[in-house]
């Protein structure tokens, strides 16, 4: 019997609608709000890249090769004289789209598989879980490489679907495993029994009663894997298997010529590196706060 019990026993105050959810979020989740701010800035940069960026990301300027940061080139230039700030701004576009889309695809499929596995149980569960075991036995980057090898490197219809698949597929088993364990607990809840006693279809029960209740781990993983996916995209690009030159991508900016010149021109790797870390960190902060925020028990 603690303070929690005290609250449970007392009648709840009538629900007050938060006047402004944005202000409330900033007030109660300051760290998450900071993360969100960074994400929003990145997103704005990605959307308005054409307006904001001072140069053309692919414009080569042999007169300004490897110049140090200056008023003209705040983040310096690379070996082709391309403006690094411009390329980081355009790189946000690549990073955020591929990062978000592949994380969303991977986590959503993983969640559905994990919840179904827990809901049906028995042999279905056993089969799915052993298959997941196999996928989990490959490191994430190796599995991504295999997918790239199978799907090929060329963008399909102008979109990097191959890259998205390569990043999403390794995410699926990881999310499925975590969501399954959360769903197993939900599966045993009386309200799921009540739904079964109500005679609803399996899909209805999974989508209405199980999935919303594994939202917390799902959202955490969604945001964490956006970060992971951005890293993975960067790694694949670094290895020359992701986005290909001359398209601007953060990972790509770390590879190639940067490895030859980073001692003389450290800005070539510092700024893309900071962009990657900052984005990853921002997504993690935001993810944690979002989970708390979306839990109805934390409200009022």
Q: Given the rule CB under 8 A, which residues bind other proteins? A: 1-3, 5-13, 15, 189-191, 193-200, 204, 208-209, 212-213, 215, 296-297, 300
Q: Cα 37–289–178 angle (5° rounding)? A: 125
Residues 6+ apart with CB under 8 A from 32: 25, 285, 286, 288, 289, 290, 292, 293
Quote the least distance from Cβ 104 to other proteins, whole Å: 20
Quote the least distance from Cβ 108 to other proteins, whole Å: 17
Quote the least distance from Cβ 123 to other proteins, whole Å: 14
Evaluate whether 246 touches 236 at the Cβ level (below 8 Å). Answer: no
Quote the least distance from Cβ 295 to other proteins, whole Å: 9
Quote the least distance from Cβ 200 to other proteins, whole Å: 6
Rg (CA), the chain: 23
Q: What is the DSSP string of 202-233?
A: HHHIIIIIIGGGGHHHHHHHHHHHHHHHHHHH
Tokens read off for 255? 């590879």
Residue placing its CB nearer to other proteins in the complex, 48 or 298: 298
Residue placing its CB nearer to other proteins in the complex, 85 or 111: 111
Quote the least distance from Cβ 189 to other proteins, whole Å: 5
Tokens read off for 149? 């090898």
Residue placing its CB nearer to other proteins in the complex, 10 or 51: 10
Measured between alpha carbons, how far is 3 from 275 in angstroms, rounded to an integer?
44
Residue 185: CB atoms within 10 Å:
11
Residue placing its CB nearer to other proteins in the complex, 15 or 158: 15
Identify the DSSP state of 159: B
Residue placing its CB nearer to other proteins in the complex, 79 or 216: 216
Angle between helices 215-238 and 161-187 (to 10 degrees): 160
Residue placing its CB nearer to other proteins in the complex, 45 or 186: 186
């Amino acid at each position: 019997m603690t303070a929690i019990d005290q609250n449970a026993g007392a009648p709840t105050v009538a629900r007050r609608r938060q006047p402004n959810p944005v202000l409330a979020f900033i007030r109660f989740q300051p760290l998450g709000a900071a993360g969100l701010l960074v994400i929003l800035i990145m997103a704005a940069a990605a959307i308005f890249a054409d307006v904001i960026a001072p140069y053309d990301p692919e414009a080569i300027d042999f007169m300004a090769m490897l110049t140090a940061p200056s008023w003209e080139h705040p983040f310096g230039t690379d070996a082709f004289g391309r403006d690094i700030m411009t390329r980081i701004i355009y790189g946000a576009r690549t990073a955020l789209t591929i990062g978000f889309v592949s994380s969303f695809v991977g986590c959503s499929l993983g969640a559905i598989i994990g919840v179904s596995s827990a809901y049906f149980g028995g042999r279905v569960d056993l089969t799915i879980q052993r298959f997941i075991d196999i996928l989990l036995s490959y490191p994430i980057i190796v599995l991504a490489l295999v997918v790239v090898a199978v799907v090929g490197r060329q963008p399909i219809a102008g979109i990097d679907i191959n890259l998205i698949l390569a990043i999403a597929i390794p995410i699926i088993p990881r999310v499925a495993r975590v969501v399954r364990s959360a769903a197993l607990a939900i599966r045993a809840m009386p309200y799921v029994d009540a739904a079964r006693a109500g005679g609803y279809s399996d899909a209805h029960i999974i989508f209405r009663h199980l999935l919303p209740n594994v939202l917390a781990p799902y959202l955490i993983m969604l945001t964490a894997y956006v970060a992971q996916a951005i890293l993975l995209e960067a790694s694949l690009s670094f290895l020359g298997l992701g986005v290909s030159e001359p398209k601007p991508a953060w990972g790509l900016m770390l590879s190639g010529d940067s490895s030859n010149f980073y001692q003389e021109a450290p800005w070539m790797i510092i700024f893309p590196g900071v962009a990657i870390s900052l984005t990853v960190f921002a997504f993690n902060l935001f993810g944690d706060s979002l989970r708390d925020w979306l839990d109805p028990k934390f409200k009022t």
